[in-house]
Amino acid sequence: MASQPGSQPTAFVRKASGLRRDVSLLDVVGLNVSNMSAGAALGLIGYTMILTSTTVGVNLVYASIIAWAIMIPEVVVYTMMTSRISRTGGDYIWVSRVYGGFFGGALSFMGYTLETMAYLALIAFSTAIAIGAVGVQMGNMSMLPLALEGYLPGANLLGQFVIGVLVFAVLIAINVLKPKLGYKVVSIAVIIGVIATFVGIFSLMSAGTTGVQGYVNSLPNVTYTSVSLPPTSPSFDLGGTFFIMPFFAIFTYPWLNAGPAVASEIKGKGTLRYNVVISSIVTLIVVTSAFAALYYAGGYLFVNGAFANPTMVYTYTFNFWTLAMGVSSTPIAWFIGLGWILWNVAILAYGIIVLSRYLFAQSFDRFLPEKISHVSPKYGSPTIALLVEFIGTVVLIALSAYFYGTFYSLFGAIVASMIYFLFIGIAAVLYAFKNEKGGAKALLSTSGVLMAIVFAYLTYQFIAFPSIWGGNYIAYGWVVASFIAGIIIYQVSKSYYGKRGIDISLAYKELPPL
């Protein structure tokens, strides 16, 4: 406890976190790559593209490269700040120490803690959809209801809910009982997912246009020619390609915070310094190569035409995974499908670990009840934080399924993270001017400014086009309510501990123990 009768109250609940320094380079890169959700992006791209006004000129290869390039300032910010402040909770610690507990704590609570619950609920749905789509692709049409968006006729919402919750519950149990195994699950799942992605790339390139044409022409109600865009359609339009940037913001390149969030558990300074850069480059290679193979085999006109075709997207769940499976032999198709499913499992497994660390860190500061930072002496895991995470995510899965009828209702909540990342950029600038000198000061402050500009643009895109990026009363209500809740929680906690002689604002003036 923070204080005992007759002793002077201290800023923190205890002298050490209780977490163990067991995370290797492979573990943390696996955690970061899972965070960047390449597998889910390759699986859900069709459900996004079909909502845009046109797919003409939207080049996903160029979009991937541009999206990665504009996130380089964020890579610099996270790399530099992690090397300077390597604490559990990562950017929550930086933001709350720059802005204070009232604003910084509420901002992080909104921008990552509660938003991640919404994202994990989305991925739980995506896991069920992947299982259904793999079954359909392998010839079992009875699994089509699992692969359909919730608002479509015939969708099996109950099945998606049950599968999502069961997978999530198993992963929570692993992290409670064997926290080190939780990291290994992420690493193994993402390794198989990456291998399956490159097997899919090889299958597409080996099949070529002839193989894709044969597969598509074998499907009822569509032909390769009827699906393709007109031959005069341009293959690249800068405006249209920039318009799809929020898709990459939802899934991939901004999500660099998993490694920093477990920084106090990482073994080795080299791992601490390079994990963000390595993870970003690995994700760039995986995502860009997959979209390039899609265009190489299918041709730009067919691929973008398919993304705009309701039959291809909704009946045949057209995406990188399903096309790669379609042109492959049965054993290879099964492996590709397994990789797609395991990508989603890896994302859920990463989220469980990282979100529990944010809850832990916020509890350690007494922003949240200090019981949440309890670490089981038997298992070495933050058991109460994991339980809170499980309950919150399951509630969101149920709300999005049964009150809105689609997992896409969760997309709009991600605007909270875009706002959060904007303020992380500003926090980096303020930190640099206060604590850095010379070249480091210039690099960190410049990167922070550029990062803030990028996320201001992305925030605008999310709000300006709600029909594409999931803007709805559930998503936006969740964002606003979570920020207000953060402010109320801070004030209640400050009052509660103040009556016991503890000023929790002092915790935000110093770094917590490792």
Q: Identify whether 13 is part of a domain.
A: no
In angstroms, the CA 148 to CA 132 distance is 8
Contacts of 439 (CB under 8 A, 6+ apart): none
Q: Identify whether 368 is part of a domain.
A: yes
Q: Identify whether 114 is part of a domain.
A: yes
In angstroms, the CA 394 to CA 169 distance is 9
Q: Identify whether 104 is part of a domain.
A: yes
The mean pLDDT value for 396-407 works out to 65
Q: First CA to last CA across the chain, in angstroms?
A: 16
Contacts of 481 (CB under 8 A, 6+ apart): none
pLDDT at 412: 76
pLDDT above 50 for 308: yes
Helical (H) or strand (E) element with 382 = none
Q: What is the mean pLDDT of the chain?
A: 88
Q: Percent of the chain beyond pLDDT 70?
A: 92
CA 183 to chain CA centroid, Å, is: 16
**For residue 2, what pLDDT band results from cuts at 50, 70 and 90?**
very low
pLDDT at 370: 83
Q: Identify whether 460 is part of a domain.
A: yes
pLDDT at 6: 44
List pLDDT tens digits, range 448-507.
999 999 999 999 998 888 878 877 777 788 789 999 999 999 999 999 999 988 888 988
**For residue 197, what pLDDT band results from cuts at 50, 70 and 90?**
very high
The mean pLDDT value for 79-100 works out to 90
**For residue 4, what pLDDT band results from cuts at 50, 70 and 90?**
very low
pLDDT at 293: 98
- CATH code: domain of residue 265: 1.20.1740.10
Contacts of 301 (CB under 8 A, 6+ apart): 228, 229, 230, 231, 233, 235
pLDDT at 3: 43
Structure tokens at 10: 């201290």
Q: Which residue has the higher pLDDT, 64 or 412?
A: 64
The mean pLDDT value for 41-69 works out to 93
Closest by CA to 401, choosing from 171, 163, 167, 109, is 163
List pLDDT tens digits, range 361-391.
898 888 998 888 888 888 888 888 899 889 9
Helical (H) or strand (E) element with 317 = none
Whether 407 and 121 have beta carbons less than 8 Å apart is answered as: yes
Q: Identify whether 14 is part of a domain.
A: no
| Residue recorded with tokens 């999310």 | 462
pLDDT above 70 for 164: yes
pLDDT at 70: 96
SS3 label, residue 66:
helix
Question: How many domains is the chain built from?
Answer: 1
Residue 464 lies in domain: 25-509
pLDDT at 487: 96
The mean pLDDT value for 128-148 works out to 86
Q: Which residue has the higher pLDDT, 261 or 22?
A: 261
Q: Identify whether 12 is part of a domain.
A: no
**For residue 11, what pLDDT band results from cuts at 50, 70 and 90?**
low
Q: Identify whether 198 is part of a domain.
A: yes
pLDDT at 179: 84
Integer-rounded Cα radius of gyration of the chain: 23
